[in-house]
Amino acid sequence: MVRYLSTRDPRAAPSTRSFAEVLLAGLAEDGGLYVPDRMPGLTGGIAGLAGLPYAEIAARIIAVFAGDAFPSGELQQLTAAAYSRFRHAAVAPLVQIDEGLWLLELFHGPTLAFKDLALQLVGPMFDAVLAGRREHVTVIGATSGDTGSAAIEACRDREAIDIFILYPHQRVSEVQRRQMTTVEAANAHAVAIEGTFDDCQDLVKALFADAGLRHELNLSAVNSINWARIAAQTVYYVAAAVALGAPARSVSFSVPTGNFGNVYAGHVARQMGVPIDRLVIGTNRNDILARYFASGRMALAAVEPSLSPSMDIQVSSNFERLLFELKGRNGAAVGETMRNFRRTGSMPEDDQAWRAARRLFSAHKVDDTETMQTISKTYARSGALIDPHTAVAVAAARADITAPGRSTPMIALACAHPAKFPDAVERATGLRPGLPPPLADLLERRERIVVLPNELGAVSRFIRAHARRAGATA
């Protein structure tokens, strides 16, 4: 059975945890991220998945990661229930937009972004595991826009969970903000922080580092550092590859990247045996990853607002999981590198790791001008309206296709519904995309807005004051 260890575990024989433990904990106690002790293959390979419903493919893939966390049959029930809430029966349909180029539409869930694919499942998985243990948790997360609403939607009104989501004040779109601030649920709190997404992420890390708070409220994370989300995200890579002819034919993916969680899930799918040729990283002007892949230097710059706010990130948390592999699964070396990065804003260069990384991924920076051009060109060529994040993926895909020797089908991940970012889409195409029916009155709903300074004390006081219950209820 797969067990999990921290990317910063310095021991030669690391202590390991189960899927259920890793699901509930999110971040490891030493500040590292959990990774499997070995990458499991799929029993019987991926050929047997052709033609199966999405929920069934999800159950089979997640089963290899979850081990005995769920009694037999429960995972099937959880995936069937989670994906029945999607507005498209195929859950994650492929739409061809050009010769050799497809969109994988990941925005048919309740909050219109790809985060729903993982969180609609991870919320109920949390509840199921907690019910078995008679425990209560306080989920804390940082969001650059889309994770927050998806997490709140996945955890709202669940008995065993309180949820607090920190988002950067005035740096998310109106639709994104309203999807968090209009939720009427006693257990769900969206908190605007006077700072950037990276500040929010730092606050979450600091809250976790406070052992008192961590134990008193049984803190947990569902942001993209939670392994269960990565596991759930590998599913659409597998399903899309199989739909376009894998394992007989290889495919490539282009992924609009911020925290590196989504594209890392593609990497995991590849390690599980899916024949993926290219994994293309698209970044906006916040291009730390593109600069790293070009130069080998991972160096922080200031976060700048862009048309694709969910990618306005400098510290790509999930990159640490890749780093762990690149450094030969040496937790001590990863811990040292990450501490250095935190202290100085840049990672010590490691030529060997960089070369290995370039064999696995390519990266392209797409600025706002190119993003707008891509939205308008895509509409002109195919009639598809795409959001700015999707446009980054499409532009990066096109940049990569023109590189010599690429003939595999390219799948660009459509990570948000165009109506989530209607201003940019309207400016580029002249058409204003409307919100789909369940959200049609979002702009009229009443908001509950809380703004706090970028201060650990203020945030932890707010959480203590509003969490419904402390620790285990048993």
Ligand X SMILES: *Cc1c(COP(=O)(O)O)cnc(C)c1O
How far, in whole angstroms, is CA 196 from its chain's centroid?
18
Residue 108 binding ligand X, by CB under 6 A:
no
Name the E strands within 259-309. Answer: 276-283
CB of 169 to ligand X, least distance (A): 18
Residue 98 binding ligand X, by CB under 6 A:
no
Please say if 115 is a catalytic residue.
yes
How many residues bind ligand X, per CB under 6 A?
18
Q: Which is nearer to ligand X, 101 or 415 (CB)?
A: 415
Cα distance between residue 230 and residue 226, in whole Å: 7
- Provide the 10 A C-beta neighbour count for residue 12: 8
Residues 144 and 197: beta-carbon distance below 8 Å:
yes
- The tokens describing 430, both together, are 């002249």
**Rounded to the nearest 10 degrees, how much is the dihedral formed by the CA atoms of 137, 142, 147, 148?**
70
Q: Choose which of 9, 127, 146, 312 interacts with ligand X (CB under 6 A).
A: 146
Q: Choose which of 415, 425, 428, 439 interacts with ligand X (CB under 6 A).
A: 415
Q: Which is nearer to ligand X, 217 or 240 (CB)?
A: 240
Stretch binding ligand X (CB under 6 A), from 79-87, 122-130, 260-268, 291-299: 260-268
CB of 417 to ligand X, least distance (A): 9
Site for ligand X in 320-379 (CB under 6 A): none
Helices 368-382 and 388-401, packing angle to 10 deg: 80
Helix then strand count (H, E) for the chain reads 18, 13
3-state secondary structure of 363: strand
User: Per-residue x/- marks for ligand X, 371-400, CB under 6 A?
Assistant: ------------------x-----------
Q: Choose which of 27, 311, 397, 419 interacts with ligand X (CB under 6 A).
A: 311
- The tokens describing 366, both together, are 């797409």
Stretch binding ligand X (CB under 6 A), from 9-17, 72-80, 184-192, 256-264: 256-264
Residue 282 binding ligand X, by CB under 6 A:
no
- The tokens describing 263, both together, are 């594209």
Residue 176 binding ligand X, by CB under 6 A:
no
Residue showing tokens 């929010």:
200
Q: Choose which of 260, 293, 319, 324 interacts with ligand X (CB under 6 A).
A: 260
Q: How many residues does the chain have?
A: 474
Q: Choose which of 173, 224, 234, 254 interacts with ligand X (CB under 6 A).
A: 224
Single out the residue of 261, 264, 257, 251 nearest to residue 360, CA to CA: 264
- Cα end-to-end span (Å), the chain: 29
Stretch binding ligand X (CB under 6 A), from 79-87, 113-121, 123-131, 196-204: 113-121
CB of 415 to ligand X, least distance (A): 4
Residue 310 binding ligand X, by CB under 6 A:
yes
Q: What stretches of 279-435 show up as alpha helix (H) in DSSP? A: 288-295, 319-326, 331-344, 351-360, 368-382, 388-401, 422-429
Binding site for ligand X (CB under 6 A): 113-115, 146-147, 224, 256-262, 310-311, 389, 415-416
Residues classed as catalytic = 115
